[in-house]
Amino acid sequence: MKIKQFFSTYFTNHAETDETHHNDSLRTHYFKTTKDKAINVLHDMYSKSPSFEVRSVSEERGELSVQLKKQKKAFIVISVIMVKPYHTAIDFSVTSETTLPFDFGYSHKVIRQQYDMLKKELPFIETSMAHKLNV
C-alpha cells in the first residue's frame, strides 16, 4: 500500500466507493436487479436490523440514508443506479462519528460489511464494470 493510500484509508473519518478506487473492495459493486428492487431490499435490510436506523429514502433519486447506531456510530448514504436492465450499481458513502478527525479505517470497514450483507440479499455481478457497459 502506497503512503498516500495508507493515509487516505486510516487517517480520515470518511470513505466512498467509486469505479476506480485504489482499493478493490471499495469499487462500485454491480448487482443483477432493478433499481426499485435494490432500494426495497436495502430498506428492508436496514429496517429489520436493530443496529441501523433508516433516515430517509428517495426512490426517485435512488438514495437511502442510514444511521449506524451500534458500535461506533456512522452516517451512511447509499446510491442505487440502474445502468441497464438488471445491472444496478450500488455505491456507499460513510462518515464515522468520532472525536478525532480520523477513524483508523473504520469507515472503510463499514463499507466492506455493507457489501457483504448486500451480497447475501442480491445476486452480485462484479465490481467496476462501467467500462464494459459503455456508460
Query: For residue range 13-68, what is the model confidence (pLDDT) as tens digits?
Result: 889 999 988 888 899 999 999 999 999 999 999 999 999 999 999 999 999 999 99
The larger pLDDT score, comparing residue 128 to residue 133, is at: 128
Domain ranges, ordered by start, for the chain = 3-133
Q: Could you write out the DSSP letters of every residue in the chain?
A: --HHHHHHHHS-SEEE-BTT-SSGGGBPEEESS-HHHHHHHHHHHHHS-TTEEEEEEETTTTEEEEEE-SSS-EEEEEEEEEEETTEEEEEEEEEE--SSS--TTHHHHHHHHHHHHHHTTS-EEEES-HHHHT-
Domain spanning 3-133, CATH class: alpha beta
